[in-house]
Amino acid sequence: MRLTKPLYVILTLVVIVASVMLVYFQFFARKQSSPAQTSCLANLRLIDGAKATIENEKNMMKGAVVTKDQLLPYLPFGWPVCPKGGEYSIGKIGDSPKCSDPEHSHYQVPPD
Ligand SMILES: [Zn+2]
């Protein structure tokens, strides 16, 4: 199929406009969900803190498995809940806890 020149120019413009809109809306969506992400990150830090405490108290090795029931006594406000309904996976000792929400999954608790 051979495209005429005006059609080729229009298609190129459509692709450029679509790309710009995609980048813009990704940025916009990210800014909008920021409070939920911040709150989720705070929850992940709480879980990570509880893991660090139990690691020290029970002399756990890196890679040891901890359960939610083991961590609950170290979480004064109970098990944190993701504002977007994500599920928290604790991860092993030495690994960062994670949220199942795809918008939060990029969070990594910084190593200390
Ligand atoms: Zn989350």
Q: Domain limits of the chain?
A: 1-32, 34-112
Q: Determine the distance separating the centroid of ligand 1 and the alpha carbon of 102, expressed in angstroms.
A: 8
Helix H or strand E segment including 15: helix 5-32
Name 89's bridge partners: 98
Q: Determine the distance separating the centroid of ligand 1 and the alpha carbon of 82, expressed in angstroms.
A: 4
Of 3-7, 27-31, 47-51, 82-86, the least confident: 27-31
Band the pLDDT of 63: cuts 50, 70, 90: very high
Q: Determine the distance separating the centroid of ligand 1 and the alpha carbon of 46, expressed in angstroms.
A: 13
Q: Determine the distance separating the centroid of ligand 1 and the alpha carbon of 15, expressed in angstroms.
A: 33
Q: Is the pTM of the predicted complex or chain greater than 0.75?
A: no
The DSSP output letter for 88 is: E
Q: Determine the distance separating the centroid of ligand 1 and the alpha carbon of 66, expressed in angstroms.
A: 20
Band the pLDDT of 25: cuts 50, 70, 90: confident
Do 24 and 44 form a contact (C-beta atoms < 8 A)?
Answer: no
Helix H or strand E segment including 40: helix 34-57
